[in-house]
Structure 1
Amino acid sequence: MYHTKIKVGSMRLSDFINKYQDQEKFMAYCRECKNYKSRWSCPPLQFNANEFLQDFHYIYLFGAQVIYDAETIKSADTPEKIRDITTQTLKEVKNKLANELLALEVKYPGSISLASGGCHLCEHCKRTDNHPCVYPEKMRHSLDSFGFDLTAITSELLQIELKWSKDSLPEYYTLIHALLTNNLHENILENFKL
């Protein structure tokens, strides 16, 4: 059905912020999203994004390409099949990627990961009921909720062209997660499995 390919890029976080963050522009997109104000992982954040980022010196970006085989692309011949395959595969890979990054947080104390898109640990996020997150130890904020330009990051830093579903399943999708840390880590992908 699919296989995955991981690309990793890293930068000093201050340079990354200067180059890729435009909160005003990207928060406008977030406000149009159904997850806005309805998931704890998404804007508006309950803290100052810039103050949060100041605690870290480096960022590692993990681009996970979910690459479909020709048979799967051909079988996705209705909007429903495209949606179902997309939902199933992206959820599987996103969960695996999130778990690998949680393991990196343990391996590199003081680091924290950021996820792609909104959190989907719960069917119904408690934020809509004004209750705290049920899984604060696992929930991670979305990379885009900090106002980062994911398209530019993906193409410039990871050399991946983003693909989107229109009337057919694309050749691949890309999920972008990150790890914020205070030190550079060689061999960060050692024992990393998707």
Structure 2
Amino acid sequence: MVHTVTKINSLQIPEFIKKYQNQEKFMAFCKECPNYNTLWSCPPLRIDATQFLQAFNYIYIIGVKVIYDTETIKLANTAEKIKEITTRSLREVKNKLSDKMLSLESEIPDSISLASGGCYLCERCKRRDNLPCKQPEKMRYSLDSFGFDLTAITSELLQIDLKWSKNSLPEYYTLIHALLTKKSLGTRLENIEIY
């Protein structure tokens, strides 16, 4: 049904923020999202995004293209099938990617990851009930919740154009995670196996 391709690039945090962050512009998009103020991973954040990021020196962008085979694209011939295939495939890859990122955090001192989109660890996020996160050791903020331009990031740093579903399943989707570190990892992530 799917296969994946992983691309990784890095920048120093100050350069990354200067080049790709526009909180005012991208928070306006977040406010239109159904996850806004309903998931702990999504805006409005209860942390100072700038202060959080400035505790690190490097950001490693990990993009995973989830590529559909021709048969799967043909099978997605209704809105319901597109949604079902998209949700199932992206959730599976995202879960594996998130597990890998948590594993990297345990191996790399002073690191933390950022995830693709909202957190779905729980059936219903406790934020909806104004309660603390039930799994703070696993929940990670979404990269877009910091006001970053994901389209520019994937295009310029990973040479991937983002695709979206309109009336058919696209050739691929892209999940974008990040790893924040205090020290350079050099080539350590070059041959990382995600999926």
Q: What is the CA–CA distance in structure 2 between the aligned matches of 1:113 and 1:193, rounded to whole Å?
A: 14
How big is each residue's C-alpha offset from its partner over 1:104-162, in whole Å with a ceiling of 9 and x where there is no partner? 10110110000010000011100011111111000000000000000000100100011
Change (3 A) 1:148 1:87: same
Aligned amino acid, residue 41 of structure 2? S
Give the drift of 1:47: 1.1
Q: What is the CA–CA distance in structure 2 between the aligned matches of 1:79 and 1:63, rounded to whole Å?
A: 26
Query: What's 1:81 paired with?
Result: 81
Consecutive aligned runs of 4 or more in structure 1 exceeding 4 Å deviation: none
Alignment of 1:128-139 (within 5 A): 128-139=128-139
CA RMSD of aligned residues (A): 0.9
How big is each residue's C-alpha offset from its partner over 1:62-87, in whole Å with a ceiling of 9 and x where there is no partner? 00000000000011111111000000
Query: What's 1:100 paired with?
Result: 100
Among the aligned pairs, what percent are the same residue? 64
Q: What is the CA–CA distance in structure 2 between the aligned matches of 1:74 and 1:32, rounded to whole Å?
A: 31
Query: What's 1:192 paired with?
Result: 193
Q: What is the CA–CA distance in structure 1 between the aligned matches of 2:131 and 2:58, rounded to whole Å?
A: 32
8 A contact 2:6–2:194 mirrored in 1: no
Aligned residue pairs, count:
194
Query: What's 1:9 paired with?
Result: 9
Query: What's 2:180 paired with?
Result: 180
Query: What's 2:40 paired with?
Result: 40
SS at match of 1:7: strand
Aligned amino acid, residue 14 of structure 2? S
Residue ranges of structure 1 left out of the alignment (5+ in a row): none
Give the drift of 1:187: 2.1
Aligned amino acid, residue 162 of structure 1? L
Q: What is the CA–CA distance in structure 2 between the aligned matches of 1:83 and 1:128, rounded to whole Å?
A: 24
8 A contact 2:38–2:125 mirrored in 1: yes
Give the drift of 1:38: 0.5
Q: Which TM-score applies when normalising by structure 2?
A: 0.97
SS at match of 2:134: coil
SS at match of 2:66: strand
Give the drift of 1:188: 1.5
Query: What's 1:62 paired with?
Result: 62
Q: What is the CA–CA distance in structure 1 between the aligned matches of 2:191 and 2:25, rounded to whole Å?
A: 36
Q: What is the CA–CA distance in structure 1 between the aligned matches of 2:43 and 2:163, rounded to whole Å?
A: 24
How big is each residue's C-alpha offset from its partner over 1:38-96, in whole Å with a ceiling of 9 and x where there is no partner? 00000111111001111000000000000000000011111111000000000000000
